């Protein structure tokens, strides 16, 4: 149980275009989802926290107009990187918190974004 | 959440026990010790967590000192597939506060050698 999926697993896009990454909790309802970003040889950095049906809360320094997060249902959250630039190339990882008894946090496999 | 300190890297021979230390001297009474690992280019994987008693599951054992200021993750028989970055995280348990979330430090790069 407690599986989180991400799609796509990797994506290449041209500079200036937008790309959407999906995060799904497959066997539980996720009241809260988190988005992390990881640059090479660095640790995971939390970008934003989203609760189902409400606006996401962004960490300091993360541009909310550039990284659009939608958490429309208890099993799906999306991250859209708008007007992507090469410096947005990174490994994006979502995480979902189980809304059941223990509120534990489970991670997706990550999405590798390369902006050319 | 309390801060943790881990060695940057460790090596271990395949088949031997890997003991990964973590210092968390400012841990609060209601904070748990969590361990995750991240194999290269994958999402983090939950390993184990504990409050004050030693814990064991199919993946590892967690030994927490009596004063709770440090802990050790033990992989009893390390394999090459255990090569990963291991993160020790101290936080309030998820069910104790809806606002709790996991924040990652630099972790320990464990390399298991043949």
pLDDT, tens only, A10-65: 999 999 999 999 999 998 888 889 999 999 989 999 999 988 888 899 999 999 99
- Provide the pLDDT for residue B110: 98
Residue from A41, A44, A54, A113 to probe the interface with B (highest B Cβ count within 10 Å): A44
- Provide the pLDDT for residue B2: 67
Distance, in Å, from the CA atom of A48 to the CA atom of A63, rounded to the nearest integer, reads: 10
- Provide the pLDDT for residue B96: 57
- Judged by CB atoms within 8 Å, which residues 84-113 of B form the interface with A? 87, 93-95, 98, 100-107
Instruction: Write the DSSP assignment of A4-49 as a string of letters.
Output: EEEE-SEEEE-TT--EEEEEEESSS-EEEEEEEEE-TTS--EEEEE
- Provide the pLDDT for residue B99: 57
- Judged on CB neighbours under 10 Å (0-12, 13-18, 19+), A109 is middle
Distance, in Å, from the CA atom of B63 to the CA atom of B59, rounded to the nearest integer, reads: 14
Nearest CA in chain B to A5: B43
- Least CB-CB distance to B95: which of A32, A102, A110? A102
Kindly state the average pLDDT of the residues A70-82: 93
Distance, in Å, from the CA atom of B108 to the CA atom of B3, rounded to the nearest integer, reads: 15
Distance, in Å, from the CA atom of A97 to the CA atom of B62, rounded to the nearest integer, reads: 23
In which residue are the tokens 């031997």 written?
Answer: B16
- Provide the pLDDT for residue A104: 75
Cα→Cα distances B106→B38, B62, B86, B88, Å: 11, 19, 9, 9
**A10-13 and A111-115 beta bridge pairing:** parallel
- Provide the pLDDT for residue A72: 83
Residue B17 near chain A (CB below 8 Å): no
Q: Is the pLDDT of residue A99 over 80?
A: no
């Amino acid at each position: 149980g407690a599986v989180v999926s991400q799609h796509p697993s990797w994506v290449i896009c041209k500079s200036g275009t937008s790309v959407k990454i999906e995060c799904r909790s497959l066997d539980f309802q996720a009241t809260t989802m988190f988005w992390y970003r990881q640059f090479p040889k660095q640790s995971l950095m939390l970008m934003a926290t989203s609760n189902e049906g409400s606006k996401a809360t962004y960490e300091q320094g993360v541009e909310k107009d550039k990284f659009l997060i939608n958490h429309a249902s208890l099993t799906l959250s999306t991250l859209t990187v708008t007007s992507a630039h090469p410096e947005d190339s990174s490994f994006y990882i979502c995480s979902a918190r189980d809304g059941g008894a223990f509120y534990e946090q489970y991670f997706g496999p990550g999405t590798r974004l390369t902006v050319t | 959440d309390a801060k943790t300190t881990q060695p940057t890297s460790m090596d271990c021979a395949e088949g031997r026990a890997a003991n990964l230390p973590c210092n968390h001297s400012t841990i609060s009474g209601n904070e748990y010790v969590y361990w995750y690992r991240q194999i290269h280019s994958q999402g983090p994987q939950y390993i184990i967590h504990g409050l004050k008693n030693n814990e064991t599951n199919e993946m590892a054992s967690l030994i927490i000192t009596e004063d709770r200021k440090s802990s050790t993750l033990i992989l009893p028989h390390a394999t090459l597939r255990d090569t990963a970055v291991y993160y020790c995280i101290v936080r309030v348990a998820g069910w104790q506060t809806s606002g709790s979330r996991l924040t990652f430090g630099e972790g320990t790069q464990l390399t298991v050698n043949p």
